[in-house]
Each structure stands twice: as C-alpha cells, then as structure tokens.
Structure 1
Amino acid sequence: MRSISLIFILLIFFGCKDEYKRSFKITKVEIKDILTDSTFSIRALEFNNEYIFYGSIDHFGRKTLQSEFKIDLTEIVISDQKVHDRYRIKNDSVFLHFRAIEEVNGNLFALSIGNPAKLFKLYRKARKPRLVYEEVNEKVFYDALVFWNENEGIAIGDPTENCMSIIITRDSGESWSKISCSDLPVALDGEAAFAASDTNITTVGDHTWLATGGKSSRVLYSPDKGVTWQVFETPIIQGKSTTGMYSIDFYDQNNGFAIGGDYTKPNDVTANKIRTSDGGKTWQVVANGKGPGYRSCVQYVPNSNGKELVAIGFKGIDYSNDAGDSWTHLSDKGFYTVRFLNDSIAYAAGRGRISKLTFR
C-alpha cells in the first residue's frame, strides 16, 4: 500500500509539473556563464538533455551538460564528465563559419555561411560530421536552419538568383534540394536575410514563416512545409542594407512577433518591433519610440499565452509581459541569440561565452 501511495504521489507531481505556469512578472535575470572562450562569436545555439550545441566564427561544437553522479549509502561522489568537442573544418585554408545549426533527436546539423555553403550532419555519439549538402556560388550565404519534424527541414539564405535561397530535406537530412525560383516569390532589390541569431525562420506545425531584411523586409509564408509560398509586407524599418527584421517567432498559428532595426544605430527605437495576430498576413508596429532598440533575437516565453517576450542583442536583454506593447530592460550584458528551456530558464550565447539565464 505504501509503494502504491508513493507512485500515486509521483504521478501527481510530474503531471502537475507539465502543466506548471509561472505566476509572476519577470523583474530580473541572473546570468551564469557555463562556457567561456575569447575566440567565440556564437550566433546559433541549440540544446537537449545531454548537450549544448553552438555555431561559432571558426567551428561548431557540442558540450555535455550533465555530470555523472555515483551514489552510495554514505556519500555522494561526483565525477565531472563534461566533454567539449569542437569541429573545425577548412575550405582551402580558411575555417568555415557556422551561424545556423539544428538538433534533431541527438543528431546535429551545422550550416556554414559564405561560398561554398556546406551543410554537415553530426550523428548522435559520432566523432566525425558528414557533408550532406554543398552549394558553390559567389552570392551564396545561408542564414538559418530549422526542422518541422525528425524527417523534414528547411534552411534560408540570401538570393543567388531572383528569389531567396531555400533548401529542403524530406529524408532526415541525408539529402537536400534547392527550391526553384519559379516556385518562390521574386526577391525585391536589396532584399536578403540576416545571419544574426539563427532565428529568421520559425515554424508551428506545418506552417513556416521566413523573415527577410535589408532594403526590403518582408515575410515569406508557407502553410504546407515549403510546398507553396506567399509573401506579406511589413511596416518594420527598411530601406538600407542594415535595416529590417533580424528575428521572428510565432507562439501559435496566429500570433507572431519580429524584431530588428539597424545594427549600425542600435539605440534607434523607431519601427523596429512588429506584431501580427492573423498568421502574418498583416503586421503592426508596437512600442514605437520606446523599448529596446536594435535586437538580434526575440523569443516567446513558453507557457505565457503569447504575452511574454524576451529580446536579446549586443546592447542587452529586454522583457515584455504584454505582447510587446511595453518593455523592461533587464541587463546590459550583450548576447546574440537565446533559446528557452522552460518559462524561467534559457541559454544565451554571444561574443566569448554561452550563459544560463534564470528569469525571476
């Protein structure tokens, strides 16, 4: 009877844990560095329950997050097994630069910027990555990568012809094919994308939104995992090669948010934050003239009903609890990208470090 009661209590505990929703407004963030290196410049970050993965200026890497615990009746002996693997890959004599990565069931995909673009798959527990896609073109520059499910994924890059570069896999990343420009909206003059945080693609179910930037900054939308495409205009600041959306996120099929601005004028708060409630068809400027200036990454806080957002950039960390209408500046410490573990903990990365953020 005692064992049955214990099982019942554990079931209640873990069941309630899944439904937990934070009931307080975030007022501060605690930052703890977990990996530091002055050579890092990290703009892509992923993690699972074993590793944290990242893409940096001359390599991509993975570091184990867990330690091995050996327990006996008298004491706890902790053996730290935190392994850090770095993968430096050269093209001719130059190290490839990785700004787009994705973890799928323990397998890591890492996509390099510049010519040639090379996409590698690092299998779970493998020591050597395998090249699964390569593209040679003077204009090639890939910016972000995401998977809809364990089999299907997509990456976006700057135009090499008259449309955005989009590659898709349907076989778990073993092979990739580029969508023809005849099946995509025509890119406008000076329209491209920014490899600032690996977050100018976002998905909800089969729905996909891609954020472009530069002289024109629009949203490309697919309702069917990249088979068909539409394009929607946005009111975000644009017109220069350094302006537009740098990051986009959707909480559900209707509610989305994008942030950016002009990184050469990071304190400018004019028309750099936009929101949609109709799946991206129309967008409205919010917090115009206030709140954070240029930011490279925005993410919805999990379990927040689409109301809470965190924006990150080299000028610091900001938080909103009213869907972007108002903002609280939490820290001046700069990062490039962030990913949430739950509604109170996230990992962020930037120049020289990866850090754990605890929001309170």
Structure 2
Amino acid sequence: MRILIPLFLFAAIVSCKHKEENAKNKIASVAIEEIYTDSVLSIRAIDVASDKSIAFAANDGVFGLYNPQTEQWITAQQDYDTLNLQFRAVARTINDFFMISVENPALLFKTGENGAMEVVYKEESDKVFYDAMRFWNSQEGIAIGDPTEDCLSIIITRDGGHTWHKLPCSLLPKIKEGEAAFAASNSNIAIVGNKAWVATGGMTSRILFSDDKGKTWQIFDTPMIHGKATTGIYSIDFYDENNGFAIGGDYTKPDETKANKMRTSDGGKTWQLVADGVEPGYRSCVQYVPNSNGKELVAVGEKGIDYSSDSGNTWKHLSDEGFHTIRFLNDSVAYAAGQGRIAKLEFQ
C-alpha cells in the first residue's frame, strides 16, 4: 500500500494536469478585427506567411500584401489587355507570389525580376476555369481547375514557377460526367510532404491523390453529398499524412447538414461521415488548428464560423459573421477573407 498510494496520487495529478492542458487548447470564442475593407471585392484567396504577412487576390484584378510591421496594405490592380481579371487562387514561395485567373484565358502571374507581375502560363479554352494553387516546396507547385477534356485540369511547375506544364489526361484519372472543382476558398488542394489531395464536386465528389508530387495519381470515392452542380467537397485539409478532413454541402442550401462533413485516418483512401445531419451546414473552407494533434478544426462560410475539438464529431458555433476562406498563423490567430474584407481572428 505504501507504494500504491503514491503511484495513485501521481497518476491523478498527471491526469488532472493533462486535462488542464487540454482545456487550455479548447476554443470558446473568437474576436474579429477587420484589417482591410473594400466593398466591391469578393476575396476568396489568401496566403499567410510565418512572418505574419498576408497576400490576397480577388475580383477586378485586385491583389495586395499586408505588412505586419507597419500594419499597412500595398494593393494593386492587374491589367491584361481589356480583361476584367478574376482571381480565386494565390500561392507564395520564399521568393515569389503567384495568382491565377479563373476564366478564359487562364493567366498565371508570377513576381517578375523588376517586381511587377508577369504571365508565366496562359491557357485558352471555353471550358478553362482554375480553382486552387499550392506549392510542395520553393521549386514545385500545382494548380488545379475544371476539366477541359476528360480529366481534371492540373498544371505543374518544377522550376520555381518560371514554367508550368499541363498534365495530359493519359496520366490522370478520368473524370465523371458533371464532376469538377469549386473555386470557393483556394482550399480544395491539401499538401503534406510529397503528397497532394485534390477534392472534386458536382455530380460526383471524389479525392484525387498523388504521393510523388504529381507524377502519378489515384482517385478515391467519398460519401460526400453529390448529384447536383452545386454539391460536393468545397474544402479539404490534412493535419498529417494520414488524418484529413473535408467539408462542403450545397451552397444554394446552406442550412442543410446531411453528408457534408467527413474525415479520413488512412491518408484519404477511405472517408467516414461525421456530425451527419447536425450543424454546421454548408461551409466553404475548413482548416486544422495548428498544434492540436489533429483534433481541432475551424470551418467558415457565409453562415459563420464553427469549431470542433474532437476531430469533427461535434461542433460549436462561434460567430454568425461570414467569410469565404481562412488560414492560421498559429494556434490562436488566423486571418479570414470574405465579401469586402479581410479580418484578423483571435481564438480564445
């Protein structure tokens, strides 16, 4: 007994301490501070760097960069002939900033040698529509878009974004009738290490997967709602190579909650519905909270901000304020963008 009692007390102390640490990680509320406003812009693509700087691109050719030291924005408007460019995807490497326009012609811009943006990829087609862009590292990146043939459009760079090449459909899984991707939040690509996951939606909602930085591809079925042009996966994120989460639904019916949230623990091969039939409904972006062991998630959409502390099984509604997209700076601060604004979110 002399041995068992101290061990029991020690275990109890450790257990209580563990519970206290977990409690500290739980989010109870969010404080929202607008840091950029422009009522004519719909901002669906942002990038947050470790130095706290924020880049964005939006409609009307507008893009910009936030300097956290001065708390000021530098914005510009990208012209190309007489086109009114619409941007839904941005990405950054250590040296460069990239953005791609959605419609015909697709124009991918990169920071030029003189600081101005220059076109490094152009694609013309009545069906062209690029949705999202990410980088594996400073040299290798990917952008995805709707099919122009019988596969999803995927372009790859291996030289830091100086040149981009479209993968032929012979190297990609065949797309099904009415299957495409959504340009809602620049988050239907997830990257961890050499791996990439791409989410589709529409009449079919599936996951394209590559474990070798886009050289070879597989495709996996999912239980996500589908069957209409407006249904499917709108956003996907992976905490590590095994644990991922996806959210979506039908943006024309944002209150519907059936089959719009799912997770995987085997690297995207199989998916299970979670919180099926309960809030939140349609959301356009989901992200893991950093340093949460894959347990904590935040989802945003026009209907507000929601939080889960148990891998998506249950959710807490934090705010009715609507946003299109969100990116975390650390485990308590994120930036979100939406209609006419970008905001700093502090989770408490």
TM-score after normalising by structure 2: 0.91
| Alpha-carbon separation, structure 2, partners of 1:45 and 1:147 | 14
CA drift of 1:261 comes to: 0.1
Give CA-to-partner distance per residue, 1:212-246, whole Å, 9 cap, x none: 01000000000100011000000000000000000
Correspondence 1:289 to 2:291:
no
Give the secondary structure class of the aligned counterpart of 1:95: coil
Tell me what 2:57 maps to.
55
Tell me what 1:112 maps to.
101
CA drift of 1:128 comes to: 1.1
* Percent identity between the two aligned chains: 58
Give the secondary structure class of the aligned counterpart of 1:94: coil
Tell me what 2:75 maps to.
85
Tell me what 1:36 maps to.
37
Give the secondary structure class of the aligned counterpart of 2:120: strand
Correspondence 1:319 to 2:307:
yes
Q: 1:21 to 1:55 in 2, by over 3 A?
A: farther
- The AA in structure 1 aligned to 2:30 is V
TM-score after normalising by structure 1: 0.88
Give CA-to-partner distance per residue, 1:164-183, whole Å, 9 cap, x none: 00000000000000000001
- The AA in structure 2 aligned to 1:84 is I
- The AA in structure 2 aligned to 1:203 is I
Would you identify which runs of 4 or more consecutive aligned residues in structure 1 move more than 6 Å? none
- The AA in structure 2 aligned to 1:89 is D
On the 8 A contact 2:25/2:292 being kept in 1, the answer is no
| Alpha-carbon separation, structure 1, partners of 2:222 and 2:164 | 30
On the 8 A contact 1:60/1:110 being kept in 2, the answer is no
Give CA-to-partner distance per residue, 1:178-209, whole Å, 9 cap, x none: 00000100000000000000000001100110
| Alpha-carbon separation, structure 2, partners of 1:50 and 1:270 | 36
Give CA-to-partner distance per residue, 1:88-130, whole Å, 9 cap, x none: 223x433110000001114100000010000000258x54101
Tell me what 1:190 maps to.
178
Q: 1:81 to 1:319 in 2, by over 3 A?
A: closer
Tell me what 2:28 maps to.
27
Tell me what 1:143 maps to.
131
| Alpha-carbon separation, structure 2, partners of 1:231 and 1:224 | 14
| Alpha-carbon separation, structure 1, partners of 2:318 and 2:120 | 41
Aligned length: 327
Give the secondary structure class of the aligned counterpart of 1:294: coil
Give CA-to-partner distance per residue, 1:113-168, whole Å, 9 cap, x none: 010000000258x5410110000000000000000000000010000000000000
Q: Residue 298 of structure 2: which of 287, 294, 310 is its match?
A: 310
Give the secondary structure class of the aligned counterpart of 1:195: coil
On the 8 A contact 2:200/2:232 being kept in 1, the answer is yes
On the 8 A contact 1:22/1:343 being kept in 2, the answer is no
Tell me what 1:14 maps to.
none
Tell me what 2:341 maps to.
353
CA drift of 1:83 comes to: 4.3
Give the secondary structure class of the aligned counterpart of 1:182: helix
| Alpha-carbon separation, structure 2, partners of 1:22 and 1:131 | 49
CA drift of 1:50 comes to: 6.1
| Alpha-carbon separation, structure 1, partners of 2:71 and 2:242 | 43
On the 8 A contact 1:108/1:123 being kept in 2, the answer is no
CA-based RMSD of the aligned residues comes to 1.5
Q: 1:21 to 1:59 in 2, by over 3 A?
A: farther
Q: 1:341 to 1:214 in 2, by over 3 A?
A: same
Q: Residue 338 of structure 1: which of 314, 326, 330 is its match?
A: 326
Tell me what 1:10 maps to.
none
Q: How does 1:213-232 map to 2 (within 5 A)?
A: 213-232=201-220
Give the secondary structure class of the aligned counterpart of 1:303: coil
